Amino acid sequence: MVTYTYNEAFIHIEETQNEKDVTFRVEVKSEVMRDRIKELRNYLNNDKDYTDALFYTDQQGVFEIIVRNDYYLKFLTEAFRFHCLESLSWSE
């Protein structure tokens, strides 16, 4: 099992597990974090697999990110690398 933490002053994340993917609803509370999410999106959009993570933004600036189940760990690792997450840990 994977767990992660984030700074609630900068971002709020809701995760919904579906049959074939995971949907993240990401409410950004600072421009610094918005830039980090955009960097993450640009990085993932430039890899060779265009369906691993799909990013959508609503009119209020809330991101919806749909991640394939087989890409879940890679997505979290990259989100951590871009400082969108504060910690990432594995437990049994």
CATH of the domain at 6: 3.30.1360
Residue partners of 12: CB distance under 8 A and separation at least 6: 6, 26, 27, 29
pLDDT of residue 59: 85
Q: What is the pLDDT of residue 51?
A: 75
Q: What is the pLDDT of residue 49?
A: 72
For the chain, what is the domain count? 1
Q: State the residue range of the domain holding 48.
A: 2-90
In this predicted structure, what is the pLDDT of residue 57? 93
3-state class (DSSP) for residue 56: strand
Structure confidence at residue 68 (pLDDT): 96
Q: Is 28 helix (H, G, I), strand (E, B) or coil?
A: strand
Q: What is the pLDDT of residue 1?
A: 87
- The secondary structure of residue 44, as a DSSP letter, is H
DSSP 47: S
What are the 10-residue block averages of pLDDT along the chain, 92 residues in total? 95 97 97 96 85 90 95 96 96 84
